[in-house]
Amino acid sequence: MSLFLSKEEIVELTGRKQRQKQVEQLTAMRITFTLDAFGWPKVLRKSIEAELGASPNQRNSNNSSIFKYTELNLED
């Protein structure tokens, strides 16, 4: 698994395909990123997993995406 989120994962995270729109959305979401030599945002996988609260099992699984819907049980 790569150190950085893939371009597809950044699209999934931001909902944007254009790099400038991705940068704007990541900034609005207060997600730390850097730009590569071509101006595309690069997001460290470990930082976004921590930000979104992924468990260690989710981080080490072979799932293609770290962005999974979780249903909350609010009946307690």
Residue 11 resides in a domain? yes
Residue 65 resides in a domain? no
Residue 18 resides in a domain? yes
Whether 26 and 43 have beta carbons less than 8 Å apart is answered as: yes
What span, in angstroms and rounded, lies between the C-alpha atoms of 8 and 75?
Answer: 35
- Confidence at residue 27, expressed as pLDDT on a 0 to 100 scale: 95
Domain that holds residue 13: 7-51
- Confidence at residue 51, expressed as pLDDT on a 0 to 100 scale: 80
pLDDT, tens digit (0-9, with 9 covering 90-100), for 27-73: 999 999 999 999 999 999 998 888 878 665 554 555 545 454 444 55
Residue 30 resides in a domain? yes
Tokens representing 55?
Answer: 């468990």
Provide the angle, in degrees to the nearest 10, between the axes of the packed helices 19-28 and 7-14.
50
Q: What is the tally of structural domains in the chain? A: 1
Residue 68 resides in a domain? no
What span, in angstroms and rounded, lies between the C-alpha atoms of 48 and 7?
Answer: 14
pTM for the predicted model, two decimal places? 0.68
Residue 62 resides in a domain? no
Residue 12 resides in a domain? yes
